[in-house]
Amino acid sequence: MKAELVSVGTELLLGEIVDTNAAYMSQRLAEIGVDVHFRHTVGDNLDRITATLELALSRSDAILICGGLGPTQDDLTREGVAEVTGRPLTIVPEAEQHLREFFARRGLTPTENNLKQASAPEGARLLDNTCGTAPGLFVQHDGKLIFAVPGPPTEMREMMQREVLPILCEHLGGDLRPVFTRVLRMADIGESTLVAEIDDLISGQTDPTIAPYAKPGEVTLRLATKAAREDEARRRLDAMEAELRERVGRYIYGVNDETMEVAVGIALRERGATIAVAESCTGGLVASRITDVSGSSDYMLGGVVAYANEIKQRVLGVPAEVLAEHGAVSEETALAMAVGVRDLMGADYGLATTGIAGPTGGTEEKPVGTVFVAIADAEGTICRGQIWPGTREQFKMRVSQNALNMLRKRVLGIEVS
Amino acid sequence: MKAELVSVGTELLLGEIVDTNAAYMSQRLAEIGVDVHFRHTVGDNLDRITATLELALSRSDAILICGGLGPTQDDLTREGVAEVTGRPLTIVPEAEQHLREFFARRGLTPTENNLKQASAPEGARLLDNTCGTAPGLFVQHDGKLIFAVPGPPTEMREMMQREVLPILCEHLGGDLRPVFTRVLRMADIGESTLVAEIDDLISGQTDPTIAPYAKPGEVTLRLATKAAREDEARRRLDAMEAELRERVGRYIYGVNDETMEVAVGIALRERGATIAVAESCTGGLVASRITDVSGSSDYMLGGVVAYANEIKQRVLGVPAEVLAEHGAVSEETALAMAVGVRDLMGADYGLATTGIAGPTGGTEEKPVGTVFVAIADAEGTICRGQIWPGTREQFKMRVSQNALNMLRKRVLGIEVS
């Protein structure tokens, strides 16, 4: 089955918002084996919506429209579907009643505009919206399937999951060949180096396919294969993962949703160990990422954000001489912070960051981007210095990723390079 | 001038990555007054790329293609442009030399595939890529302008800024009517309430236009107007802002890039005051956001992430009886944390959060989403309790936004509701 996606909204064309809905819908469709060959974005303009829908109807089996179902005059998706299918819009009595009840509960009466949301092209089925007022649409027309879902992400996702995907799966029947994927997450390696090492596999168009993707502090490899049955897919994914692990396994730290903060949690839990964090340049980001994981209170005792030097001294016990002699951004200070926070909180591991996030504050000797990350534990201490390019935001993300990875390796007994 | 954007890449159609490039390019084009009526996404398939380019050429003055300029067999943008313009691809000697030098510096020889990046449709101008190996393309064909820029965001942005936008502005000449925008950022109000209060302005299609947009913890209003001259635009934006401030000004906390963390910094700087943060449920996010602002070390002393109760007691001095009697998630604990961190760090303001981020840990009395935020200063203390719905991530973001806003108001002497 070939599908085409149409995102409706002038705010998208103006670049005011990033179209995360389109990526979400594409992913869900890929998972059930629906091929998306084209995606379009069109503004709140009836002629252009209609032209886009006509084009899509001429070459695809299914069209999914997102957005333009609201109550204002700008919301024209219903009109567009009515136009291309030649089915006039009429009020759906149950939808009108539902809407009136919704407003009545708030002591309000729906306006003429609001009631537009209860209208649909003749023969269309309304799709329940459990998170908002705009129902979705489903029309079967000339053997094609047309869906319209609301633009707010929570409403769209819920409606995709509960209504659209089940209808599509039913129509796919025996052709249902979902795509099964696995994401391998890597650290300590850049995208270009990784791609060079496994270029034969990536450009060999193997099954599973392999797609690399880079974000600050991390590269991922996404393996994907189409199969009628899950065990068949799993066998292929397992084989490819094994081959990749043989060649670049030392860089792989997690699989699928196992982000670095999750991997750190798994490592700490395995060893029954606790962690405390002392942060200067990351300003709380390392602690925040650790506590993004549900259940992290089992191993996370807490942290100190020591932005001012006096706090490094007074709360973490970094000696005044160390700060005076080596400066706040130094191996010596990082080590004293790690030891200090470990002692203060009585944790098994103390993790510390100190650096220059920029854009100001750099010197010739210690340019913007300089950072020291230190760990203290029962075995002793380690510290690594690095220089990261990038914006303040990228710097904080890269340093936090690198610090968490150092911690993960230390906890697991892997040598920190 | 009407433009059409084409994003090329199967990874986009599979939803593996979100197309932030398209939003960026749209924004830049809107700013110089180029109308984008359609945007398309197409996979790494020559027929479909060609069909999309043909359609775009038939109705728009300019086409901007992003992606598909890499060295692999999957990269087909050059071939697509060659096809629709009927201009065969040939190697550009300077580009080949540039590429050979790039590889030689790394001790490598370019492969046949790599050399593809030095080819271009006849008569095309190559656009320098100062951040990567793939040059961009600019072709004038039958009075239309065709641009191709690389997919990696930094390379695309740099090339848009340095090459594409200047060429477009030159072609716009007297038609250059940039869009000037202003974003008003609001807190303490939801999108639907706000829209209801100023519905006449939004649906009145005024100039400047007003577009509301909601994210966790914040609603923004984007004002936009097209004008030949900046002072003309500024006058219109000022007038609309004044009208909005009269009606909903009490919710506006910042303008344009003045995020909540920036607004907090401005308020603290104005008063010459310092801040220290004690966090339980936000786990470091409040401190991390405060320190996202360059120069925040002037007013941010530091923070304590007190995840374990023992840390609340030992480091922040929350009395054991308070924890035993009222629990860690209580007004009493929040107040003791705020006072404790203020004393510990010697700050003018102490800000504290304690709550249940979920998804586990809720009780009947204190469900998931319960939070208490407290502030201590020379005047005394205040505390507010709330319940926020949403995921763990949304909860942390909303609580941090709300805590920072409470702090901002307290510092500015605005009553905290």
Q: What mean pLDDT do residues A229-250 have?
A: 95
What is the rounded CA–CA span in Å between residue A28 and residue A160? 8
- Residue A283: pLDDT band (50, 70, 90) is very high
Of B284, B400, B303, B357, the residue nearest A404 (C-alpha) = B284
Q: Is the pLDDT of residue B205 over 70?
A: no
User: Which H or E run includes B21?
Assistant: helix B20-31
Return the residue of B nearest to A223 by Cα: B16
What is the rounded CA–CA span in Å between residue B16 and residue A182? 12
A255 has a chain B CB within 8 A of its CB: no
B345 has a chain A CB within 8 A of its CB: yes
Q: What mean pLDDT do residues B264-288 have?
A: 97
pLDDT at position A70 is: 84
Contact partners, residue B64, CB within 8 Å, separation at least 6:
B3, B4, B5, B6, B25, B29, B147, B148, B149, B164
What is the rounded CA–CA span in Å between residue A118 and residue A109? 14
Condensed to tens digits (0 to 9), the pLDDT of residues A309-338 reads 999 999 999 999 999 999 999 999 999 999
Query: Given an 8 Å threshold on Cβ–Cβ distance, is A297 in contact with B307?
Result: yes
Residues of B in contact with A292 (CB under 8 A): 283, 392-393, 396
**Assigned token pair, A397:** 């993300």
| Interface-testing mutation among A2, A8, A10, A16, with chain B (most B C-beta atoms within 10 A) | A16
Return the residue of B nearest to A224 by Cα: B14
* Distance to chain B for A300, nearest Cα, Å: 7
Domain boundaries, chain A: 2-175, 179-255, 260-412
Nearest to B39 among A20, A41, A311 (CB): A41
Other C-beta atoms closer than 10 Å to the C-beta of B200 total 9
Give the bridge partners for A386, in sequence order.
Answer: A371
Condensed to tens digits (0 to 9), the pLDDT of residues B229-239 reads 889 999 999 99
* Distance to chain B for A385, nearest Cα, Å: 21
Nearest to B302 among A30, A291, A308 (CB): A308
What is the rounded CA–CA span in Å between residue B26 and residue B6? 11
* Distance to chain A for B304, nearest Cα, Å: 4
Rg value, chain A, Cα: 27
Of B294, B310, B223, the residue nearest B259 (C-alpha) = B294
**Assigned token pair, A19:** 């179209």
Of B354, B371, B374, B356, the residue nearest B312 (C-alpha) = B354
- Residue B271: pLDDT band (50, 70, 90) is very high
Q: Chain A, 168-227: which have a CB under 8 Å from a chain B CB?
A: 179, 203, 211, 213, 222, 224
What is the rounded CA–CA span in Å between residue B280 and residue B276? 14
Query: Given an 8 Å threshold on Cβ–Cβ distance, is A305 in contact with B295?
Result: no
Q: What is the mean pLDDT of chain B?
A: 92
Q: What is the mean pLDDT of chain A?
A: 92
Q: Is the pLDDT of residue B251 over 90?
A: yes
| Interface-testing mutation among B2, B26, B205, B348, with chain A (most A C-beta atoms within 10 A) | B26
Q: Is the pLDDT of residue B71 over 70?
A: yes
Of A205, A212, A292, the residue nearest A252 (C-alpha) = A212
Other C-beta atoms closer than 10 Å to the C-beta of B401 total 21
Q: What mean pLDDT do residues A140-144 have?
A: 95
**Longest distance between any two alpha carbons in chain B, whole Å:** 82
Residues of B in contact with A73 (CB under 8 A): 203
Query: Given an 8 Å threshold on Cβ–Cβ distance, is B15 in contact with A23?
Result: yes
Nearest to B16 among A16, A211, A294 (CB): A211
What is the rounded CA–CA span in Å between residue A134 and residue A152? 10
Helices (H) and strands (E) in chain A, counts: 17, 17
Q: Coil, helix or strand for A274? A: coil
What is the rounded CA–CA span in Å between residue B258 and residue B71? 41
Residues of B in contact with A28 (CB under 8 A): 15
Ramachandran assignment for A208, one of left (phi > 0), alpha (psi -120 to 50 degrees), beta (any other): beta
CA atoms within 13 A on the CB side of A364: 0
In terms of CATH architecture, what is B2-175? 3-Layer(aba) Sandwich (3.40)
Question: What is the arrangement of strands in the sheet containing A179-186, beginning at the earlier edge strand?
Answer: A209-215, A218-226, A179-186, A252-255
| Beta strands in A202-259, from DSSP E residues, in sequence order | 209-215, 218-226, 252-255
Query: Given an 8 Å threshold on Cβ–Cβ distance, is A307 in contact with B301?
Result: yes
What is the rounded CA–CA span in Å between residue A305 and residue B256? 29
Confidence check on the interface: ipTM exceeds 0.85, yes or no:
no
Strands A119-121 and A209-215: unpaired
Q: Is the pLDDT of residue A205 over 70?
A: no
DSSP structural state of residue B392: H
Note every long-range contact of A158-161, with CB atoms under 8 Å and residues 24 or more positions apart, other chains counting: A158/A129, A158/A130, A158/A131, A159/A127, A159/A128, A159/A129, A160/A24, A160/A25, A160/A28, A161/A28
- Counting residues of chain B whose pLDDT is more than 90, the rounded percentage is 71
B116 has a chain A CB within 8 A of its CB: no
Query: Given an 8 Å threshold on Cβ–Cβ distance, is B308 in contact with A345?
Result: yes
Condensed to tens digits (0 to 9), the pLDDT of residues B82-139 reads 999 999 999 999 889 988 887 888 777 887 778 888 999 999 999 988 877 789 999 9
Q: Is the pLDDT of residue B17 over 90?
A: no
Residue matched to tokens 């070459």: A59
- Counting residues of chain A whose pLDDT is more than 90, the rounded percentage is 71
Q: Out of A288-302, B22-36, B43-57, which region has the weakest mean confidence (pLDDT)?
A: B22-36
Q: Chain B, 358-377: which have a CB under 8 Å from a chain A CB?
A: 358-360
Indicate the residue type of B73: Q
Is the bond preceding residue B208 a cis peptide, omega within 30 degrees? yes
DSSP structural state of residue B70: S
**Assigned token pair, A181:** 């994927």
* Distance to chain A for B278, nearest Cα, Å: 9
* Distance to chain A for B6, nearest Cα, Å: 9
Query: Given an 8 Å threshold on Cβ–Cβ distance, is A23 in contact with B41?
Result: no
pLDDT at position B74 is: 82
B324 has a chain A CB within 8 A of its CB: no
What is the rounded CA–CA span in Å between residue A385 and residue A140? 62
What is the rounded CA–CA span in Å between residue A210 and residue A201? 7
Of B344, B307, B332, B321, the residue nearest B383 (C-alpha) = B332
* Distance to chain B for A161, nearest Cα, Å: 16
**Assigned token pair, A271:** 């060893």
Nearest to A39 among B40, B202, B305 (CB): B40
A40 has a chain B CB within 8 A of its CB: yes
Dihedral of the CA atoms B157, B161, B163, B165 (nearest 10)?
A: 120
pLDDT at position B379 is: 95
Residue matched to tokens 């981007």: A369
Q: Are the CB atoms for B331 and B318 separated by under 8 Å?
A: no
Q: DSSP letter string over B294-347?
A: TTGGGTEEEEEEE-SHHHHHHTT---HHHHHHH-SSSHHHHHHHHHHHHHHHT-
User: Which H or E run includes A395?
Assistant: helix A392-412
Query: Given an 8 Å threshold on Cβ–Cβ distance, is B301 in contact with A287?
Result: no
Query: Could you say which of 3.30.1490.100, 3.40.50.800, 3.90.230.10, 3.30.70.2860 is the CATH number of the domain covering B179-255?
Result: 3.30.70.2860
Residue matched to tokens 């790599």: B114
Q: Is the pLDDT of residue A207 over 90?
A: no
Q: What mean pLDDT do residues B346-372 have?
A: 93
**Assigned token pair, A59:** 């070459």
* Distance to chain B for A221, nearest Cα, Å: 11
Q: Chain A, 72-91: which have a CB under 8 Å from a chain B CB?
A: 72-73
Q: Are the CB atoms for B154 and B221 separated by under 8 Å?
A: no
Strands B209-215 and A380-387: unpaired
Residue matched to tokens 């993960």: A408
Q: Where are the alpha helices (DSSP H) in B42-120?
A: 46-59, 77-85, 93-105, 112-115
Query: Given an 8 Å threshold on Cβ–Cβ distance, is B15 in contact with A37?
Result: no
CATH number of B260-412: 3.90.950.20
Residues of A in contact with B301 (CB under 8 A): 307-308, 310-311
Q: What mean pLDDT do residues A339-362 have?
A: 95
Q: Chain A, 300-319: which have a CB under 8 Å from a chain B CB?
A: 300-308, 310-311, 314-315
Estimate the crossing angle of helix A77-85 against helix A46-59, to 10 degrees: 50
Query: Given an 8 Å threshold on Cβ–Cβ distance, is A13 in contact with B36?
Result: yes
Return the residue of B nearest to A290 by Cα: B283
What is the rounded CA–CA span in Å between residue A317 and residue A336? 7
Between A and B, how many residue pairs show a Cβ–Cβ distance under 8 A?
Answer: 244
pLDDT at position B99 is: 84
Q: Out of A113-122, A191-200, A382-391, B260-269, which region has the weakest mean confidence (pLDDT)?
A: A191-200
Query: Given an 8 Å threshold on Cβ–Cβ distance, is B294 in contact with A359?
Result: yes
Q: What mean pLDDT do residues B166-188 have?
A: 87
pLDDT at position A227 is: 85
- Residue B318: pLDDT band (50, 70, 90) is very high
| Interface-testing mutation among B31, B210, B305, with chain A (most A C-beta atoms within 10 A) | B305
pLDDT at position B76 is: 94
What is the rounded CA–CA span in Å between residue B233 and residue B223? 11
DSSP structural state of residue A364: S
Return the residue of B nearest to A152 by Cα: B214
What percent of the residues of chain A are helix, what percent strand, and what percent coil, each to the nearest 5?
45, 25, 30
pLDDT at position B145 is: 97
* Distance to chain A for B283, nearest Cα, Å: 5
* Distance to chain A for B121, nearest Cα, Å: 25
